[in-house]
Amino acid sequence: MTKLTIAREKAEQGERLSLEDALCLYEENDILSLAAWARAAKERKSGRKVFYNVNRHINLTNICVSDCPLCAFQCHDGDSRGYLLTHEKIAVILSEAAKAEGLNEIHIVSALHPTADFSYYLAVIRQVRAALPQVAIQAFTPVEIVHFSKITGKSVEDILHILKKAGLTSLPGGGAEILSDRVRNIICPNKATRMEWMDTVKTAHRLGIHTNATMLYGHVETVRERMEHLLTLRDIQDETGGFQAFVSFPFHPENTRFSYLKRVGAWEDMKMMAISRLMLDNIEHIKAFWVMLTMPVAQLALGFGADDLDGTIGEEKIIHAAGAKTNTGITRTKLRQVIRETGYEPIERDSFYRPGGKIQNENGIS
Ligand code: SF4
C-alpha cells in the first residue's frame, strides 16, 4: 500500500493520523473526501449538534509594545488611533452587554500596553465579575499572561492564580500563531515564544483553567509547519486535556507588514478545517470563527468538521483592523438560521459547551 492509501484508510476509519499522513492528505487535495471524513469525525463527537453562544468581545487597548509585523491592530503610544478603555467606559460596555438575552460570556483580548500595569487588568476582571456575576470571563491570551508575568516579576502560575481568584474562568488561547521558532522570529519576534505559549497553556490547564487552542495560517509558514503545529497541540492535549476547542484563523494581510501577501482562499480554509478535525482527535470542538472566515465560509465549514460558530460577538476590533469586512456582531436568530440551513441542530451553549441557552424554540427570539 502507498503512503497515501494508508493515510486515506486511517482517515476513513477515524484512526489517529501521523504527520506524514496529514501531509499526504493535504497534498492529495481531495477536498470532498476530506469533508466526508471530517464530518464523520465531527458527528462521532457531537452528533448533529452545532454550538454557538451569546457573548460579547471587549478589546481593552490597541497600544502595544510588541510591534509584531503580522499585526494590523496595534499602534504605538501617542498614535491618534491608540486607546485604553477606562473603567467608566468598560462599565458602559458591560451594561450594554447585559441587555443581550442569554449573555453568558465576556471575551477579553488586548494588546500589550506599555504602561498599564497588572492592577488595571485585574481590576477589569473584578469589575466584570461584579457587574455580571453569572457570566463566564474568557480573558487574556497566553501572550498577555506572559506579558503580565514579565511586568510584575511574578510567575505565570501566580498570575493565573490571581486572575482565577478574581473571576477569570478560561483563556481564549490566541497568540499561538504557528508554534515554530522560525516562523515566530519572522511574524512576531517580540511576543511570547513557542515554549512560553506552550508552558502557559499547560500551567493554566494544571490549575483547572481551560483554554482554546488556535492557529494562524496563510503567511510565511510551510504546510509541514502547520501540521507540526497541529501535532504539538495534540500532544499537549494528550498530556493535559485542557483544550476545549480549536480555532484556526486565516491570516488577513491588509494593513500589516505582509500586505504583499494574498489572503488564502476558501478552498484552503476548508482543507485546513477538515485536516484539523481529523488530526485533533482529542479536542472535542472545532470552531469556525465567522468573523474571520465570513459567515458563508463559516457555514460551509460546518460541512468540513466544525461544530461551533462562536457567538454573537457584539464588537470586534482586531480582525477588522486587518481588513475583515464581516459584521462586528450578529443576532442569535441569524446564527440559528445559518446552522439550521446546514441540516444541523443549533445548540446555544455556555462558555464550557454545556447546553444552556434560553432559547426553547425557533420563534420570537431576537
Ligand atoms: S499581535 Fe498582539 S502582541 Fe503582537 S503587536 Fe498585535 S496586539 Fe501586540
CATH number of the domain to which 95 belongs: 3.20.20.70
Distance from the alpha carbon of residue 318 to the mean position of ligand 1, in angstroms: 9
Encode pLDDT of 6-28 as tens digits.
999 999 999 999 999 999 999 99
Query: Does any domain span residue 365?
Result: no
> Is the pLDDT at 332 greater than 90, yes or no?
no
- On whether residue 322 sits in a domain, the answer given is yes
- Ligand 1 in reach of 111 Cβ (< 6 A): yes
* Ligand 1 pocket member 73 (CB < 6 A): yes
**Domain-embedded: residue 353:** no
Is residue 99 in some structural domain?
yes
Pocket test for ligand 1, best of 61, 188, 317 (most atoms within 8 A of CB): 188
Look up the pTM and report it: 0.93
**For residue 117, what is its C-alpha cell?**
500595569
**181 lies in which domain range?**
18-347
Residue 308 lies in a domain: yes
Ligand 1 pocket, residue 74 CB under 6 Å: yes
CA distance 337 to 331: 10
Share of the chain above pLDDT 90, in %: 86
Task: Tell me the CA–centroid distance for residue 56 and ligand 1, in Å.
Answer: 20
Taking the centre of ligand 1 as the mean of its atom positions, its distance from the CA of residue 201, in whole angstroms, is 18
- Over the chain, what is the mean pLDDT? 93
Say how many Å lie between the CA of residue 339 and the centre of ligand 1.
Answer: 32
pLDDT at 311: 85
307 domain residue, yes or no: yes
Q: State the pLDDT at residue 320.
A: 62
CA–centroid distance, 88 to ligand 1, in Å, is 25
| Residue 301, pLDDT score | 98
User: Residue 151 falls within a domain, yes or no?
Assistant: yes
pLDDT value at 124 more than 60: yes
Q: Answer whether residue 96 is part of any domain.
A: yes
pLDDT tier at 363, thresholds 50, 70, 90: very low
The alpha helices in the chain, defined as continuous H runs, are 3-13, 19-28, 31-46, 87-97, 118-131, 142-152, 156-166, 181-187, 194-206, 223-240, 266-279, 290-293, 295-301, 318-321, 332-340
> Does the pLDDT value for residue 223 go beyond 50?
yes
